[in-house]
Amino acid sequence: MKIPRQVYRQRIRKSQELMDDQGIDALIVLSLENYRYFTGDLRKQPRMLIPREGDPLVLVFEGEKEEAEEKTGMEIKTYRAMHEMMGIIIKFFNSLGVETPKVGIEMEFSTPAFLIDRFRIANPHVEVVDAKPVISPLRKIKDQYELHLMKKAAKLADTAMEKAVDMLKPGITEREVAIEVEYVIRKKGAERLAFPMFVNSGGRSQWLHGMATEKRIEEGDLVLIDIGPVYEGYCADIARTVVIGKATEEQKKIHGLYLEMQEKIIEMIEPGITILDIDRHNEKFMKKHGMKELYVKGFLHGIGLNFEETPFPTIFPEDQMEEVEKGMVLAAGHSVLAVKGTGGVRVEDTLFVGDEVEQFTSFPKELMEVG
């Protein structure tokens, strides 16, 4: 989808208003996701400078100038060596007309620890602060263009889940399923998967995180499948848990509990409720069923250009206090319910908080007996 240039300019203007509120003189954009959010361009090792006032500046390797200009419509400066790039950045800081400019840099997963330490050493006259207070308020509320792309990503998630469930049978390996599913949805337009697909079977369904290994799927296994396809930069997230062959009473019980919990939460989501409220509700629910100690916090998280973004309570504890707002897209059902001897369950969907809550992913949720 071609997003009008006006939209990117408006995102930049809004970031400048937030910089003004926060007393931040400039933003350095280093992540693929934020660079794409502000420009629409996809480029490895992006470098973009946004001053509190005036026009942004994009830095690219010399050979990329023409295309970057065409894609962003912004001012481009080029470099061939690292010291040239640093020179442009230092000149930009000087142009801000502030003795000790306060510069926001993304501190999240896109920025490695050494880079900030070295940046601070190389730029002693710059005060480095976390860009989150400027980026998160923008990114967490999705506009119509973003919603359109996220719905497409959710359709791919449904397609991927259907393909995965179709393939499951005793004897096939987790990895074989993952390879085919990824191939199919990339052919259908997925840019990539946001994270390596989980095909967690048997005892491995109890894992907090997952992957797809050489383990063969066996009769009686619970299989937890979690997929995050990316469509033109935007992610969706779906998880389902199925059983190979006939489900035991214990498997039915824990799957039923998880599903009840997830569906209740989707009903409860509305502007003003916090992530903490949701987790507290779930803890009470699990306590009622004698499983309080098995509840893993962090049932909801934001999703967009990153598959986990604000609110992101499992990594940023302060995000537990984030209130749900109209315009957010959330993934509901993030944590695993792992019961030793029985297995693990997760049912996760991508949903939009509009006037009503709209579920973007729609693959059936009931416990399926497959193979």
- To a second copy, the closest distance from the beta carbon of 290 in angstroms equals 16
- To a second copy, the closest distance from the beta carbon of 45 in angstroms equals 6
- Residue number, 213 or 362, with CB nearest to a second copy: 213
- Residue number, 38 or 119, with CB nearest to a second copy: 119
- To a second copy, the closest distance from the beta carbon of 53 in angstroms equals 26
- Residue number, 9 or 281, with CB nearest to a second copy: 281
- The answer to whether 38 touches 56, Cβ cutoff 8 Å, is yes
Give the whole-angstrom CA distance, residue 54 versus residue 96: 10
- Residue number, 337 or 351, with CB nearest to a second copy: 337
Give the whole-angstrom CA distance, residue 332 versus residue 169: 28
- To a second copy, the closest distance from the beta carbon of 156 in angstroms equals 14
- Residue number, 320 or 361, with CB nearest to a second copy: 320
Give the whole-angstrom CA distance, residue 362 versus residue 347: 12
Give the whole-angstrom CA distance, residue 249 versus residue 247: 7
- To a second copy, the closest distance from the beta carbon of 256 in angstroms equals 19
Token digits for 61? 């390797």
Edge-to-edge, what's the strand order for the sheet holding 234-235?
Answer: 192-193, 229-231, 234-235
* DSSP code, position 3: -
For the chain, the residue count is: 371
Give residues in contact with a second copy (CB under 8 A).
42-45, 61-64, 66-67, 80-82, 105, 107-117, 130, 179, 183, 186-187, 192, 196, 203-204, 206-211, 213, 293-294, 296-297, 314, 316-317, 336, 338, 340, 344
- Residue number, 271 or 317, with CB nearest to a second copy: 317
- Residue number, 137 or 189, with CB nearest to a second copy: 189
What is the 3-class SS of 233-298, one letter each residue?
CEECCEEEEEEECCCCHHHHHHHHHHHHHHHHHHHHCCCCCEHHHHHHHHHHHHHHCCCHHHCCCC
- To a second copy, the closest distance from the beta carbon of 2 in angstroms equals 13
- To a second copy, the closest distance from the beta carbon of 265 in angstroms equals 19
Edge-to-edge, what's the strand order for the sheet holding 26-29?
Answer: 75-79, 57-61, 47-51, 26-29, 102-105, 127-130
* Coil/strand/helix, residue 335: coil
- To a second copy, the closest distance from the beta carbon of 267 in angstroms equals 26
Residue 16 dihedral angles phi and psi, to the nearest 5°? -70, -35
- Residue number, 13 or 109, with CB nearest to a second copy: 109
